[in-house]
């Protein structure tokens, strides 16, 4: 075997190892989302941790993650965990003054 083919074999073995790890991460995350009741924030953290690990294994594949795995995880979150909580928004009413309300009284 030449040095080049030996290097190529090592690269292929490394790629296969990372692909197996990817499969385990995705399968485990999917199983937990489907089978383990958990609050939405915990499920979101689980998916975020899976995303971080996937991108550690394949740093140049963020676009692929967003196209394939992100929608899958989003669907699982929606279906098995529940919808994301809506952010609390304080509405702005331009017709009202800010500050404490004063009781009505004589205007002077």
- Kindly list the domain boundaries of the chain, sorted by start residue: 3-81
pLDDT digits (tens, 9 = 90+) for 24-60: 999 999 999 999 999 999 999 999 999 999 999 999 9
Please say if the pLDDT value at position 87 is more than 90. Answer: no
Helices 62-76 and 40-57 cross at an angle (nearest 10°) of 160
* pLDDT given for residue 88 in this prediction: 75
- C-alpha count within 13 angstroms, C-beta hemisphere, residue 23: 6
């Amino acid at each position: 075997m030449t040095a080049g083919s030996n290097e190529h074999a090592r690269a292929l073995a490394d790629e296969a190892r990372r692909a197996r790890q990817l499969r385990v991460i995705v399968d485990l995350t999917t199983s937990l989302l489907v089978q383990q009741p958990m609050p939405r924030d915990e499920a979101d953290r689980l998916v975020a941790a899976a995303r971080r690990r996937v991108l550690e294994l394949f740093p140049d594949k963020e676009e692929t993650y967003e196209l394939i795995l992100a929608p899958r995880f989003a669907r699982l979150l929606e279906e098995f965990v529940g919808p994301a909580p809506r952010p609390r928004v304080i509405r702005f009413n331009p017709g009202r003054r800010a500050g404490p309300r004063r009781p009505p009284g004589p205007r002077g």
